[in-house]
Chain A
């Protein structure tokens, strides 16, 4: 292999490497990501039939928790599970049929309004729709 050929080979090789180094991130960039939308407005909270009446489930709404409640009447309701007092995650208390924040005993009704305790504002409530087998919670407005 003479000098000229070596340089050509070197040039071709490094050019190919550079092109690959460009294409790889570009292709990875174009391929769809796990989270498909920039602003999450809708999320599958649970599967149909997953929740027995008078039980609840914490689901992931973006990076914050939401709570899906199947009331004793079999009605589905969803709220942001972040307590408006100090951001603890709320739970559903089945024997009283209310939402309770265990940190400071803040209590909310099933419309998200404050019943008692320190929370200053109601819980943000979400729309609940059933789409096929999925229970979908979405932000209002």
Chain B
């Protein structure tokens, strides 16, 4: 038995140069220090993405993207297909957990200043990945064609429509028409399973490759002697898998006890239900738009907010080039402070959406 395995390994090794790979993995070291807990979130994001791909592919088997049958096919998956409820619930739950993990991963990298030279591109690709996954969330939310998602999409695209000059063109492009229709489902479906996965694979490839080439970043100011290095394989990878298993168990429990809801089929002619809101990860922007006064210095408040988010996002992406201290391996408390303000803002505004729905 052992001989057979060995000869198979030998056969593959001579063709794929497996031992070189293993050698690389064994040589690769991961720093271990008091903040190294945060390293695992990158792996968790990757794992959840793989889970998304697998369950997504399985859902494709029964889902049909059209007004007539989108909702019905989800209902079919949830009630008729064996374990369909599990697949869909895993897809929905892990999508939400994935977005949360991405945010954690981003903020931990921010506070540890992992974006500083030479990892600027890792940060920027990561930022693009965040945008892509938000787009995944936005497009995927509509696909079950239920009441909530229908109106959330309508509101979301209306916000894009308020931009001057190009707003309406963007809205028409997103929706494939002037309103949320069957054309929108096709378009979102096309984005969700065609364009976005393609972009993800490319950008994620660069992101992961950069991590492999440059190694993990060490926090500023941790003395060299306090940093232990552990081999990537098998130590780090085993710890990573332990994290994955715990996440998986969490998802399993969530899916059994809180299967993802199907909701009412969308009726485009119905009145917008009260208290409609987007997915939780958009709510901080949504609440801002609700709170901001209608006019600030005779400019439309909504417009200011949208531009604010766009400029804020751009600055956030360019942080590696703005933070001169971190680039020189010096502490940069100003940026840490900005990070805390942004985080606090997001948390408070998200909480406001759920705690003060009447706002």
* Residues of chain A at the chain B interface (Cβ within 8 Å): 18, 25-26, 28-31, 33-35, 37-39
Contact = CB atoms under 8 A, between A and B. Distances in A.
Nearest to B54: A26
A35 B62 CA distance: 12
Interface string B50-90: 00000000100110100011001101110011111011000
A39 B73 CA distance: 7
Given A38-B73, A39-B72, 8 more contacts: A33-B81, A34-B80, A35-B76, A37-B76, A38-B76, A39-B68, A39-B73, A39-B76
> Which interface class (under 10, 10 to 19, 20 to 34, 35 or more) fits B?
10 to 19
A84 B61 CA distance: 36
A24 B193 CA distance: 25
A62 B72 CA distance: 12
A38 B72 contact: yes
Interface of B: 58, 61-62, 64, 68-69, 72-73, 75-77, 80-84, 86-87, 245
Nearest to B75: A38
A71 to B, nearest CB: 32
Contacts of B75: 38
A124 B141 CA distance: 34
A23 B201 CA distance: 25
Contacts of A30: 58, 61
A30 B68 CA distance: 23
Contacts of B84: 29
Contacts of B81: 29, 33
28 contacts: A18-B245, A25-B83, A25-B86, A25-B87, A26-B58, A28-B83, A29-B58, A29-B61, A29-B83, A29-B84, A29-B86, A30-B58, A31-B82, A33-B80, A33-B82, A34-B80, A35-B76, A35-B80, A37-B76, A38-B62, A38-B64, A38-B73, A38-B75, A38-B76, A38-B77, A39-B64, A39-B72, A39-B73
Contacts of B73: 38-39
A29 B64 contact: no
B358 to A, nearest CB: 39
A130 to B, nearest CB: 26
A34 B69 CA distance: 18
Nearest to B87: A29
Which of A25, A28, A29 gathers the greatest number of chain B CB atoms within 10 Å?
Answer: A29
A18 B64 CA distance: 31
Contacts of B61: 29-30
A42 to B, nearest CB: 14
Nearest to B64: A38
